[in-house]
Structure 1
């Protein structure tokens, strides 16, 4: 990173998104998971649409491609990602959830290899991809001799969340949309909230009538909507233009640190050595996959 300001914004974004896993965990004490996610994006969608309308001229979807981009993002990046993540976080720690979501860039590479004909994976890149999956195995530690534990099932849901957002990001590359980034995120938030309400309504034990708001759950919703979503995406947009996609991807590997520390301080969560090792293996896999782009970025900074 080239300036102190960019470094500060990078750390701020990692903190906002890392602590969001702790806020989700705290809110799940009182709120049904998918309904919790839906209410978060009700608020975030309104705020993001207002922000996009005030700051950009190309925030309204106008073409078929624009609406396809919104549909992909709202369904995969917002609705399914958050439904799986919020359900999964009931039985895994904030740090484990953050580490599993950090596989998103690795999974996106795998989807790119399968769906984008121009994408090719070298031998070293293949090793990086395999290391990513080894790291996931170390984090989840499935017991092949026993039954499915609640923690393993929950880890599976979080991995489905990572798969959803990875697939969504790759499919969006195939859509030639003229919709601005802020507008795409804002509409995705709003439409995603509607889809989350639909999913919540189809699930047992989730209804607005049974919603009980406590001081803690309200703080969690506001923090996730305002800080993790609106402010987080505002910081993300600023950094994306200054740093590029490769450097900003590294934020995925800083968020678990904040999730682990905050979860330990506020929720008394612990993280063991095997989980830390798994996280480091995932990070090495990412660095191998993106080594050429990282080398180019470092050369440009010099």
Structure 2
């Protein structure tokens, strides 16, 4: 069962990036995000109500859910959807894997967690990997501003996602039900995007094509409801650290899809850059068995 959940999470979240690419078109980005998380939050709400698992929250906790919705289910995707117009969806997923490093940094910043000895070498590998990955385009005589926009928006969206993870950590520390807080946060994220759409005068008309509607349903049902549900189930079964290893494989799936459907061109520097980024994430996660055993058995200081 654990293996099935693990593979499912990798395949679903590895392919959502291409679905985001398919959302590009006449519908405003804010409207697409609104419909995605409106549908997802309504489905989650119905499921939790039927299962009698929806938990009530205090007003203060709802305020934090609004902030979480802005970070994880609104403005970060606003960045990702716009970035998809400038770089391939596969490259977006590679940059998103840097959330592991952002989480470690923000954990120190907001919760005063001790800095992992692996943070600095992992960060260096990640940053060098990103430069190497895009070196073919960055070394051109005239660097396209669109490329830099795509990289910058993807990095900004990834950092926003990490901030949302910190709020989720806060929920957990206060004993709140993670599934309930995520459901509320999805709804608040959808509401924020609706307000922004109204402020921009965007049309809420849907593009009734198979590509747009299909990708919207896939993102809402599979990417949001099933994806998050299976991931948190996996966290409960094997632990957060082991479940997080799945982020190492998202980019491989996304880049494979991007190669076949977006015409992504592989270069030597792209292979090296991808390897460095994945290695950086692996360094961040890796804990030698002998070190874990030593921590369990080492004598306490008198």
Give your verdict on TM over 0.5. yes
Q: Post-superposition shift, 1:252?
A: 1.3
Partner Cα distance (1:153, 1:93) in 2: 12
**Are residue 53 (structure 1) and residue 49 (structure 2) matched?**
yes
Deviations 1:83-126 (CA, angstroms, capped at 9, x unpaired): 1111111111111011011111111111222222232232x431
Partner Cα distance (2:222, 2:188) in 1: 20
Instruction: Give 2:158's aligned residue.
Output: 162
Deviates more, 1:86-95 or 1:147-156: 147-156
Q: Post-superposition shift, 1:68?
A: 3.5
1:68/1:178 Cα in 2 relative to 1: closer, same or farther (>3 Å)? farther
Deviations 1:139-160 (CA, angstroms, capped at 9, x unpaired): 3447487555212211211111
Instruction: Give 1:216's aligned residue.
Output: 211
1:178/1:290 Cα in 2 relative to 1: closer, same or farther (>3 Å)? same
Partner Cα distance (1:298, 1:230) in 2: 37
TM-score (ref. length: structure 1): 0.87
Structure 2 unaligned residues grouped into runs of 5+? 295-302
Q: Post-superposition shift, 1:164?
A: 0.2
Contact 2:248/2:281, CA 8 A, preserved across alignment: no
Instruction: Give 2:186's aligned residue.
Output: 189
Deviates more, 1:140-149 or 1:32-41: 140-149
Q: Post-superposition shift, 1:223?
A: 0.8
Instruction: Give 1:138's aligned residue.
Output: 132
The aligned length equals 291
Residue of 104, 122, 125 corresponding to 1:109:
104
Q: Post-superposition shift, 1:199?
A: 2.7
Partner Cα distance (1:277, 1:217) in 2: 34
Instruction: Give 1:14's aligned residue.
Output: 10
Contact 1:136/1:282, CA 8 A, preserved across alignment: yes
TM-align CA RMSD? 2.5
1:45/1:174 Cα in 2 relative to 1: closer, same or farther (>3 Å)? closer
Contact 2:69/2:164, CA 8 A, preserved across alignment: no
Instruction: Give 2:299's aligned residue.
Output: none
TM-score (ref. length: structure 2): 0.87
Deviations 1:183-226 (CA, angstroms, capped at 9, x unpaired): 1111111111111222333447x3225x4332211111011111
Deviates more, 1:75-84 or 1:146-155: 146-155
Residue of 71, 82, 86 corresponding to 2:66:
71
Structure 1 unaligned residues grouped into runs of 5+? none
